[in-house]
Structure 1
Amino acid sequence: MGLKWTDVQDIAIELAEQHPEQDPTQLRFTELRAWVLALEEFDDDPNHSGERVLEAIQQAWIDEVD
């Protein structure tokens, strides 16, 4: 079973591992969304993302690298 938009922490971990050079505080939501959709394990409706979900993923990623 793949990652869903609600798997905020797991998505953040995957992004941190795949993009270790990226500062998540400097990432635009359009880029963040594209990177989530590009995750091999991601398996959810692309249209179900919203600003709140992307904010949560970004914050979890920030917490992950701190």
Structure 2
Amino acid sequence: MTNEFGWEDAEEIGIQLQEKYPELDPLTVRFTDLLQYIVQLDGFRGDPAQSNESKLESVQMAWYEEYKDAQ
């Protein structure tokens, strides 16, 4: 069973994105694309309409930390 997570779980989203898109540098991803990547993750239960620049930036930074650790 997949764990569910939402906008408040930026670190978990970052981990999931790094696992799904290990070749992408998160700092090169546009927020419009980032939103699509997030909502397509298995287990994501947040409302896409509740996204905002602050939430997307938090996810991007969490993903970037995971990306740096994987390099």
Report deviation, 1:65: 1.5
Using the aligned pairs only, state the percent identity.
39
Larger Rg: 2
Q: What is the CA RMSD across the aligned residues, in angstroms? A: 0.9
Q: Structure 1 length normalisation: TM-score?
A: 0.94
Report runs of 4+ in structure 1 exceeding 4 Å deviation: none
Q: Residues 33-55 of structure 1, C-alpha deviation per residue, up to 9 Å, x if partnerless?
A: 00000001101211111000000
| Structure 1: segments with no counterpart, 5+ residues | none
* TM norm structure 2: 0.88
The one of 26, 33, 58 equivalent to 1:24 is 26
| Runs of 5+ unmatched residues, structure 2 | none
